[in-house]
Amino acid sequence: MSISRRRLSTGFTRRLKTEKSDTSSLPNALKNNSAIASSALNKLRLLSICALVSLLSSFVLPHALLAQNEVSDPGAVVALEEDEIFVVRAKLGPYGPEERARGVLKKLKGLLKEPDFKPESIVAVESDGETDILAGDTVITSVTDIDAKVAATAREDLAQQYVNRLKAVLARHKAKQSIEGAIKDASVENFSRSLMQLLFEPTTLKIITALIGAVAISTLVAFVRRSVGRYVTDSSKRYASKKIIDFVGGFVGLIFVTVVFRDALGNLAVIVGAVTAGIAFALKEVIVSIAGWIAVTFGDFYHVGDRIQLGGIKGDVIDIGFGRTTLMELGEWVNGDLYTGRIVRVSNGFVFSQPFFNYSGDFPFLWDECTVPVKYGSDHKLARQILEKVADQVSAEFIEQAEAHWRQIAKKYLVEDARTSPMVTIVLNDNWMEFTVRYVVNYRRRRLAKDQLFTLLLEELEQTEGRVQLASATFQLVETPVFDVRIKQPAAK
């Protein structure tokens, strides 16, 4: 093609030179001969035709050759493993079919690595003179008119064929990749590697350290609790000791975890300081209850097994918690200090706000009294002797122990010496002689001791043959009074 263009150009130049030489003598020739003018006109037409042919050769032929060069046969195949997707046969700008195919394959592999990629998201979008095949923001390839011409189909149809084929192949490879990934993740080697990576993470190491510390502290606490149960014989002291050991173990465990996670908890100090006032106000009752627990535990207020009255509730202590004391209730509708069957939980904070009573603290005995009405006319001296005898029999087993405990009370507190032996007193009223029997008894035996006292008293009174009789408020008619009835006659009219 370049040789033909060169020949045309050379001929055209020669003719121009010839024409210049001829046109220099044209005016004279025209004047002389009209035939010469006609010949020159014909030559001019020939030159114009030659110039037009040369111009068409310089523009049309190169474009035709370029279009021919843009088609490559047999082209480059785009395939994933054994799955052929489509064939690229035309150039696109500076990229030949091989470069285009490699670029498309690289993009497809990149899409398969993305966990959020879905093959059904692939679409064909019309652009300037071409159709782009997109997957989200990624341009997989572009279908040009030359591609469509080579495939002998419309550009839109070819693009849709590419889209359908891409969806099918990529969906199959995505599923296969998921299955292979699951099998790979389930392999022993990969599991071991993942486990080792997880174990050597700083947070994991801290958690493992905290768990080991918690197990060690729990084991130590269990050992100390078992030792306390072996060497401490008193049940109340053993219970209190175990509670203290549990509290100390929990506190030590909390401190240990705080030290292990001190880096993560470092910023919490500012937050805790900022909300301390609000927490103290909102949890006032809880804080007071915990303070009450500390006072009860370390201040020797009461122990498990003691009989107390706290917050207006009387009962036996069966548990002392951080916030509440649990009581087995006494009294209410049941007389004689016996259980009602209800379990009551009372806030420990009542030890600060209300008086509480301990029936079994330093002195586990009570002075109990009962009154005995005796008729006037009975032998009051014999009645006194009987009451003193009965009281001695009932309280004999408690007197010695009560005296020993009272001596300890006198050493600890400023109290006067109290009489622990029975005492009988008498007062007179309008109806009978009233004897009062005062005696000491264990706080758990009060009801039984009173029952025993009245039983012995009745037996002794039966043996007096009426010399001592009990009085009562009942009334008895001993005889009918004389009625004086007078009938008045009416006056005569």
Q: For residue range 417-458, list pLDDT tens digits in order.
A: 888 899 999 999 988 999 999 999 998 888 899 999 999 999
Does residue 277 form part of some domain? no
Range of the domain at 254: 203-266
Q: If DSSP codes are grouped into helix, strand and coil, which group holds residue 372? A: strand
Q: pTM of the prediction?
A: 0.45
- Nearest partner of 205 among 193, 215, 217, 197, judged by Cα: 197
Does residue 408 form part of some domain? yes
8 Å CB contact between 117 and 111: yes
Does residue 274 form part of some domain? no
Q: In whole angstroms, what is the distance from residue 395 CA to residue 452 CA?
A: 10
Note whether 288 and 301 are same-domain residues: yes
Does residue 271 form part of some domain? no
DSSP state of 492: P
From 20, 42, 69, the end of a domain falls on: 69
8 Å CB contact between 361 and 306: yes
Does residue 163 form part of some domain? yes
Note whether 286 and 310 are same-domain residues: yes
Which amino acid, 31? K
CATH code, domain with 324: 2.30.30.60
Beta bridge partners of 339: 330
Residue found by looking up tokens 């009987």 in the block = 386
Two tokens, residue 329: 């209730």
Burial (CB count <10 Å: 0-12, 13-18, 19+), residue 15: middle
Spell out, as residue ranges, where the chain has pLDDT lower than 70: 1-48, 50-74, 180-191, 193-195, 198-200, 236, 263-281, 474-481, 483, 491-493
Residue found by looking up tokens 């370390």 in the block = 298
- Respond yes or no on whether the N-terminal peptide bond of residue 490 is cis (omega within 30° of 0): no
Does residue 489 form part of some domain? no
CA 267 centroid distance within chain: 20
Note whether 181 and 77 are same-domain residues: yes
Q: For residue range 237-264, list pLDDT tens digits in order.
A: 777 777 788 878 888 888 888 777 776 6
Strand duo 83-90 + 433-442: pairing: unpaired
CB atoms closer than 10 angstroms to residue 290: 16
Note whether 180 and 149 are same-domain residues: yes
Domains identified in the chain, total number = 5
